[in-house]
């Protein structure tokens, strides 16, 4: 766009521009365009490495292979340079972007979407849509193959449950919880313990459904015990303490053989049963739909409860704390209490997911609770748009489904690498996520102008001098 | 203002002088820097007390000490509630201080910009409700009642400060003067006994200043709230304050009615410098002769 | 408690503590200027170790000794330090600066750093293999002398010596040079420092580079002490962060003390409870410290105080 205006400028103007440039003494290698070119070429090389071979026994194998694979390297670098050229010379290459047909199509499309969104929010449109969606989701397992049924229950549904819980902590309260999977583990081990499958036997044996309230309680207590002291401190300490807590739980699960049976894990956690006296039902390994429906019901209940919370005084208090902790406290909001509430609610949701997972796969072992899973759920929540339940669910479903689709093309071990990259890229270009919540988007915009915090990372006010 | 008898009644009460807030010998230090030194201050019930002083005199530090943001090393701050109980405020958490009945506004407006004006006020009103997360999640009748009550209260307060027509606008999109009013409404929503206003007139135009003076008198007279006011605008101070306390370099240098303080040599000196003050006092003395 | 064993565990504890101290300084420096936990610092450490591994695998030193060993160790420090500094520099440019420009919330910084850390870990795993690999011997790691029957090896001496040299150098750099003054100024009040003509971007970038340099060197030493793998950064990283908090985050001397304390605590808990519990102690100490003295042993200094 700027180049268009330069072309039409008067000669004097361009003369003064060049003399200004001379005055600034900016050599060519310091120009933005050149720096961008270097960046793009480096990115091209990076992509070559990222998509290259897995390492062999020799440390240099993968590196050598990637960097001598000329066609592949050349393609990536060419793409990178092409993108650079597009960014730098787009006005020469495409003409004025405001006039290009592509731009017009995008503009029209966004205008259409903007027209549709308020209609979707209307009560008489919204509810039928939600009901239709639920019906489609409920029928989904009867349409897809056995493999996808597995994926839906094991990968997607459990993670959606976890993401709904983490969203309360990260999205609504603005706290960073890196030990979320620790509570998942507590839930799963509770299930194993109370059904009598651990080396230590419980006072009474319960069925998995009855374990859920017990696990919720356990996780609530654990969450409060962990959160109460740390939430009084600066918010980013919580991240590291939860990380530490996760590792303690993980190491306990791995090493305390006499209680947890160590790395081998425990088997035979029973399937849930429902006995209402006049009607009873038992879940089995074979009918996966039943699990899908069970998780749908649990998720539905949680969403209903959490949305109520979000649109009540609790949700407003969370927003207030995120935006300006000092002002919130000065108006009587007990900031520590509300943070703790969010933290404990998230923890207990994770616990529920743990019980469900344990009784579904009938097997609990430390390998399911590695730190990576905490980061995974976090990535899902952020990708979807923290703060918006629908965004979070969609983001989780999408990111959990993607690796299964790409399974034949991308090595599964590379998954974490791409996840890390997604986190960074999202934070740089779209911190609000796929489907952002309205409040959060506004907050991020305000923060950009230097107003408000948009998270709960500052220290709770009061009580310290100097 | 609509009810003159109320005003008279209140000022009559303040003559009996029951202190609401008593600050005694408060000293606040940051490392070697003394922000407040041995500050004494009394706010009587139903009174509007202005705290004035040059920039950096420690006015906002005093507010922060009162509201628990800073903890002074020495001294005591006591609050005598209307119900007869007495509380020590020193070292209390900010939200506890608020709960005890001190609400404040900020020098640089601190609203929750991403929320609507009404929601801002509701947040404050709701800190006085006892409904817990469980009853909210289950939608129990008491939670619904509380929601309606806070809604009503917020609406009333918005009307009271004159923002009745801007209820659903985003707080960040309001004009500067309206944001000041909204902050006052939010503070009032916590049902305080004492309202601390930190330079409420800063950045407002003359018309807004007049309206603001009116509003402060209104709050004091109709709601019976004692007001502690930090302000640089002397016209506003002189028009609304019953008494004035002057701070300079963290010390109280004068205290009394507006007229007394205006004549105080130490105050004139603090504002104008020693030489000018001497000249002025001479001139005054000559006039009186 | 066996007194002989006490010394047997104290000495590795001290040398490990020296390493933690050096890594902790990286956290503390960045915390000082940005008020942020640099979650990806542990990967800087890992990259430093890999750089040394790559170079020495290429060189394949055969039975080095004497002057040859000294040269090799110096080369190791240079290579790993440079790699660490480069990684930290790139990290700041990619994962932090774009967010800083947009005034992003702190949550976003943390998430971006975790993403970067994850990315670096797993790309290293993909590129160099996921099995632990030893760095080839650079010297004969023989016993130098004994303290109360506990042997002190060459490697342990190098670790402690290098840590002391680096810490003294850093202390001088921060307290005596103009660059250090810039760092301290930004740490105290970035906005005012900017108004006074300090180039904040440059200071932040340099702080990352200094932290990365130290982290890379620590990675090399750690690699010599055990083995090099793509996940090696995690535990030392967390422990070093705990050390930084323990000493008082933002406080460079605090980081040194904190690192020493945690190294010894870890070594002793490995002795008392068994090796598999060694990391639990670090986390437990971290949580306890945060509960009872969140400002650390020496208090927060480099960082903003209020």
Tens digit of pLDDT for each residue in A287-326? 778 888 889 999 999 999 999 999 999 999 999 998 888 8
Provide the angle, in degrees to the nearest 10, between the axes of the packed helices C200-225 and C3-34: 160
When CB atoms are compared, the residue of A313, A335, A463 closest to B129 is A313
Greatest alpha-carbon pair distance for chain A in Å reads 93
pLDDT for residue C45: 92
Beta strands in B33-161 (DSSP E): 33-44, 48-52, 74-80, 86-88, 102-104
As a whole number of angstroms, the distance between CA A243 and CA A130 comes to 37
For the cut 90, the answer to whether the pLDDT of residue C90 exceeds it is yes
pLDDT for residue A165: 95
**Which range, A178-192, A286-300, A444-458, is most confident?**
A178-192
pLDDT for residue B1: 40
3-class DSSP state of A236:
helix
Establish, for the pair of chains A and C, how many residue pairs have beta carbons separated by less than 8 Å: 185
CA dihedral A36, A40, A41, A44 (to 10 degrees): 170
Average pLDDT over chain B, rounded to an integer: 86
Left (φ > 0), alpha (ψ -120 to 50) or beta: where does A437 sit? beta
As a whole number of angstroms, the distance between CA A185 and CA A247 comes to 11
Contact yes or no for B106 and A463 at CB 8 A? no
As a whole number of angstroms, the distance between CA B115 and CA B113 comes to 5
pLDDT for residue B272: 67
A-chain residue closest to C277, CA distance: A251
Which candidate in C40, C93, C119, C280 is best for mutational testing of the A interface (most A CBs within 10 A)?
C119
User: In the beta sheet, which residues pair with residue A266?
Assistant: A364
One-character DSSP codes across A207-235: -HHHHHHHHHHHHHHHHHHHHHHHTTS-H
Which candidate in A332, A348, A453 is best for mutational testing of the B interface (most B CBs within 10 A)?
A332
Number of Cβ within 10 Å of residue B224's Cβ equals 15
The CA-to-CA distance between both ends of chain C, in Å, stands at 44
How sure is the predictor about A168, in pLDDT bands with cuts at 50, 70 and 90? very high
Of all residues in chain B, the percent with pLDDT exceeding 70 is 90
3-class DSSP state of A116:
helix
How sure is the predictor about A142, in pLDDT bands with cuts at 50, 70 and 90? confident
As a whole number of angstroms, the distance between CA C11 and CA C7 comes to 6
pLDDT for residue C42: 92
As a whole number of angstroms, the distance between CA B281 and CA B269 comes to 10
One-character DSSP codes across A308-344: HHHTSHHHHHHHHHHH-HHHHHHTT--HHHHHHHHHH
User: In the beta sheet, which residues pair with residue B194?
Assistant: B102, B226
pLDDT for residue C20: 92
Task: Quote the tokens at residue C13.
Answer: 């504890």
pLDDT for residue B276: 65
Task: Quote the tokens at residue B245.
Answer: 């306390």
CATH class of the A150-448 domain in this structure: mainly alpha
Based on its alpha-carbon atoms, the radius of gyration of chain C, rounded to whole angstroms, reads 19
Average pLDDT over chain A, rounded to an integer: 83
User: In the beta sheet, which residues pair with residue B27?
Assistant: B74
* Residue B146 near chain A (CB below 8 Å): yes
How sure is the predictor about A334, in pLDDT bands with cuts at 50, 70 and 90? very high
For range A178-192, the mean pLDDT: 93
pLDDT for residue C105: 81
Based on its alpha-carbon atoms, the radius of gyration of chain B, rounded to whole angstroms, reads 20
As a whole number of angstroms, the distance between CA C184 and CA C203 comes to 10
In angstroms, the Cα distances linking A159 to A287, A427, A435, B64, C244 are 20, 21, 18, 45, 34
What sign results for the dihedral spanned by CA atoms C24, C26, C29, C33? negative
pTM of the model: 0.85
Tracing tokens 């960073």 back to the chain, one arrives at: A176
For range B14-19, the mean pLDDT: 66
When CB atoms are compared, the residue of C108, C234, C290 closest to A427 is C108
Tracing tokens 């731009």 back to the chain, one arrives at: A103
pLDDT in tens, C26-69: 888 888 888 888 889 999 999 999 999 999 988 888 777 778 88
Answer for the pair A376, A160: CB distance below 8 angstroms, yes or no.
no
When CB atoms are compared, the residue of B110, B119, B143 closest to A327 is B110
pLDDT for residue A406: 80
Q: Which of residues 115-154 of C touch A (CB under 8 A)?
A: 115-123, 125-130, 133
Number of Cβ within 10 Å of residue A100's Cβ equals 13
Task: Quote the tokens at residue B46.
Answer: 């139903």
Q: How far is C144 from chain A (nearest CA, A)?
A: 33
Contact yes or no for C53 and A59 at CB 8 A? yes
* Residue A466 near chain B (CB below 8 Å): yes
* Residue C108 near chain A (CB below 8 Å): yes
For the cut 80, the answer to whether the pLDDT of residue A14 exceeds it is no
Find out if CATH 3.90.1720 is the number for domain C3-130+147-292.
no
pLDDT for residue A98: 63
How sure is the predictor about A8, in pLDDT bands with cuts at 50, 70 and 90? very low
Q: What is the ipTM of this complex?
A: 0.87
For the cut 90, the answer to whether the pLDDT of residue A196 exceeds it is no
Based on its alpha-carbon atoms, the radius of gyration of chain A, rounded to whole angstroms, reads 26
pLDDT in tens, B109-136: 899 988 999 999 999 999 988 888 889 9
Q: Which chains touch C (3 or more CB pairs under 8 A)?
A: A
Residues 6 or more apart in contact with residue A51 via CB below 8 angstroms: A72, A76
Find the DSSP H helices in C143-199: 154-176, 178-188, 190-195
As a whole number of angstroms, the distance between CA A196 and CA C137 comes to 51
Tracing tokens 């309001």 back to the chain, one arrives at: B174
Q: What residue spans define the domains of chain B?
A: 1-101+192-262, 113-191
A-chain residue closest to B110, CA distance: A327
Scored b (16 or more CB within 10 A) or e, A399-413 reads bbeebbeeeeebeee
When CB atoms are compared, the residue of A313, A316, A461 closest to B94 is A461
Tracing tokens 């180049």 back to the chain, one arrives at: A3
As a whole number of angstroms, the distance between CA A47 and CA B159 comes to 60
For range B30-51, the mean pLDDT: 89
For the cut 80, the answer to whether the pLDDT of residue B162 exceeds it is yes
CATH class of the B1-101+192-262 domain in this structure: alpha beta
Contact yes or no for B114 and A446 at CB 8 A? yes
pLDDT for residue A153: 83
Contact yes or no for C234 and A255 at CB 8 A? no
pLDDT for residue B7: 37
Kindly state the DSSP code that residue B171 receives in the 8-state scheme: G
Contact yes or no for B126 and A316 at CB 8 A? yes
* Residue A423 near chain B (CB below 8 Å): no
For range C1-27, the mean pLDDT: 86
Nearest to A174 by CA among A296, A347, A392, A320: A320
Tracing tokens 């003359």 back to the chain, one arrives at: B206
Answer for the pair B254, B267: CB distance below 8 angstroms, yes or no.
yes
pLDDT for residue B12: 41
Q: Which has more confidence, A185 or A127? A: A185
Average pLDDT over chain C, rounded to an integer: 86
For the cut 90, the answer to whether the pLDDT of residue B250 exceeds it is no
CA dihedral A163, A167, A170, A172 (to 10 degrees): 180
Of all residues in chain C, the percent with pLDDT exceeding 90 is 32
For the cut 50, the answer to whether the pLDDT of residue B9 exceeds it is no
Nearest 5°: phi and psi at B274?
Answer: -60, -45
Residues 6 or more apart in contact with residue B152 via CB below 8 angstroms: none
As a whole number of angstroms, the distance between CA A287 and CA A141 comes to 10
> Judging by beta carbons within 10 Å of its beta carbon (0-12, 13-18, 19+), is residue A355 exposed, middle or buried?
buried
């Amino acid at each position: 766009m700027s180049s268009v205006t330069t072309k039409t400028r008067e000669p004097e103007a361009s003369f003064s521009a060049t003399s200004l440039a001379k005055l600034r003494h900016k050599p060519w290698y310091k120009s933005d365009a050149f720096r961008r070119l270097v960046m793009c070429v480096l990115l091209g090389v990076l992509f070559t490495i990222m998509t290259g071979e897995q390492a062999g026994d020799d440390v240099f194998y993968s590196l050598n292979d990637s960097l001598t694979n000329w066609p592949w390297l050349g393609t990536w670098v060419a793409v990178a340079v092409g993108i650079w050229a597009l960014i730098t010379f787009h006005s020469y290459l495409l003409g004025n972007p405001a006039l290009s047909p592509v731009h017009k199509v995008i503009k029209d499309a966004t205008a259409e979407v903007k027209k549709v969104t308020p209609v979707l929010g209307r009560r008489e449109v919204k509810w039928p849509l939600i009901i239709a969606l639920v019906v489609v989701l409920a029928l989904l397992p009867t349409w897809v193959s056995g493999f996808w049924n597995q994926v839906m229950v094991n990968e997607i549904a459990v993670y959606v449950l976890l993401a709904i819980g983490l969203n309360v902590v990260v999205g609504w309260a603005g706290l960073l919880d890196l030990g979320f999977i620790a509570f998942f583990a507590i839930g799963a081990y509770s299930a194993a313990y109370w059904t009598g499958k651990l080396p230590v036997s419980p006072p009474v044996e319960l069925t998995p459904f009855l374990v859920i309230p017990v696990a919720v309680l356990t996780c609530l207590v654990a969450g409060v015990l962990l959160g109460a002291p740390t939430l009084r401190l600066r918010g980013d300490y919580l991240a590291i303490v939860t990380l530490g807590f996760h590792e303690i739980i993980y190491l306990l699960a791995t090493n305390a053989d006499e209680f947890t049976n160590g790395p081998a894990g425990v088997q035979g956690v029973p399937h849930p049963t429902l006995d209402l006296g006049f009607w009873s039902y038992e879940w089995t390994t074979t009918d996966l739909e039943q699990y899908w429906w069970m998780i749908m019901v649990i998720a539905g209940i949680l969403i209903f409860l959490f949305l109520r919370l979000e649109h009540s005084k609790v949700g407003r208090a969370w927003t207030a704390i995120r935006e300006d902790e000092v002002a919130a406290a000065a108006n009587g909001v007990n900031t520590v209490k509300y943070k703790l509430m969010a933290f404990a609610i998230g923890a207990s949701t994770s616990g529920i997911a743990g019980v469900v997972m344990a009784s579904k796969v009938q097997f609990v072992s430390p390998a399911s609770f590695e730190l990576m899973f905490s980061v995974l759920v976090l990535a899902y929540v952020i990708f979807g748009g923290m703060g918006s339940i629908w965004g979070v669910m969609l983001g989780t479903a999408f990111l959990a489904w993607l690796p299964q689709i790409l399974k034949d093309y991308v090595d599964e071990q590379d998954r974490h690498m791409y996840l890390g990259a997604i986190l960074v890229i999202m934070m740089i270009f779209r911190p609000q996520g796929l489907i952002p919540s309205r409040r959060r988007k506004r907050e991020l915009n305000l923060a950009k102008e230097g107003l408000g915090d948009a998270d709960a990372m500052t220290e709770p006010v009061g009580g310290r001098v100097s | 203002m609509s009810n003159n008898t109320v005003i008279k009644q209140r000022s009559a009460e303040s003559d009996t002088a029951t202190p609401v807030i008593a600050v005694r010998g408060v000293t606040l230090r940051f490392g070697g820097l003394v922000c407040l030194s041995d500050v004494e201050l009394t706010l009587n019930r139903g009174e509007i007390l202005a705290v004035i002083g040059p920039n950096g005199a420690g006015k906002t530090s005093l507010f922060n000490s009162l509201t628990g943001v800073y903890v002074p090393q020495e001294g005591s701050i006591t609050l005598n509630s209307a119900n007869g109980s007495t509380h020590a405020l020193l070292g209390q958490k900010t939200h506890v201080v608020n709960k005890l009945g001190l609400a404040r506004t900020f020098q640089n407006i601190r609203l929750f910009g991403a929320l609507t004006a009404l929601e801002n006020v509701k947040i404050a009103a709701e800190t006085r409700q006892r409904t817990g997360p469980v009853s909210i999640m289950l939608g129990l009748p008491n939670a619904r009642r509380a929601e309606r009550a806070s809604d009503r209260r917020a609406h009333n307060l918005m009307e009271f400060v004159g923002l009745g027509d801007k209820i659903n606008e985003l707080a960040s999109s309001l004009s500067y003067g309206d944001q000041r009013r909204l902050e006052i409404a939010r503070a009032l929503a916590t049902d305080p006994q004492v309202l601390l206003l930190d330079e409420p007139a800063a950045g407002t135009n003359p018309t807004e200043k007049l309206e603001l003076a009116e509003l402060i008198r209104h709050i004091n007279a109709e709601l019976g709230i004692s007001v502690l006011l930090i302000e640089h605008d002397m016209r506003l101070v002189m028009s609304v304050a019953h008494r004035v306390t002057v701070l300079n370099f963290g010390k109280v240098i004068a205290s009394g009615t507006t007229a007394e303080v205006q004549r105080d040599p130490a105050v004139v000196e603090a504002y104008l410098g020693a030489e000018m003050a001497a000249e002025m006092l001479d001139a005054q003395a000559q006039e009186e002769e | 408690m066996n007194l002989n064993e006490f010394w047997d565990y104290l000495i590795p504890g001290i040398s490990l503590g020296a390493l933690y101290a050096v890594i902790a300084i990286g956290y503390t420096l960045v915390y000082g200027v940005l008020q942020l936990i640099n979650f990806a610092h542990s990967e800087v450490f890992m990259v430093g170790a890999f750089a040394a591994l790559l170079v020495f695998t290429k060189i394949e030193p055969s039975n080095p000794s004497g002057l040859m060993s000294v040269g090799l160790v110096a080369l190791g420090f240079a290579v790993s330090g440079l790699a660490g500094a480069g990684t930290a520099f790139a990290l700041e440019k990619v994962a932090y600066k774009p967010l800083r420009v947009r005034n992003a919330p702190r949550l976003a910084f943390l998430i971006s750093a975790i993403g970067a850390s994850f990315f670096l870990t797993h790309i290293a795993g993909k590129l160099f293999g996921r099995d632990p690999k030893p760095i080839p011997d650079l010297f004969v790691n023989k016993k130098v002398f004994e303290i109360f029957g506990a042997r002190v090896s060459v490697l342990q001496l190098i670790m402690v010596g290098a840590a002391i040299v680096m810490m003294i150098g850093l202390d001088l750099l921060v307290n005596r040079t103009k660059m250090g003054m810039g760092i301290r100024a930004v740490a105290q009040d970035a906005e005012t420092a900017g108004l006074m003509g300090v180039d904040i971007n440059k200071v932040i970038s340099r702080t990352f580079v200094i932290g990365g340099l130290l982290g890379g060197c620590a990675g090399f030493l750690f690699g010599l002490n055990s083995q090099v793998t793509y996940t090696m950064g995690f535990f030392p990283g967390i422990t070093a962060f705990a050390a930084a908090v323990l000493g008082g985050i933002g406080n460079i001397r605090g980081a040194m003390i904190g690192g020493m304390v945690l190294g010894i605590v870890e070594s002793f808990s490995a002795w008392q409870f068994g090796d598999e519990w060694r990391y639990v102690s670090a986390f437990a100490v971290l949580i306890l410290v945060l509960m009872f003295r969140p400002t650390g042993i020496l208090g927060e200094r480099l960082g903003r105080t209020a």
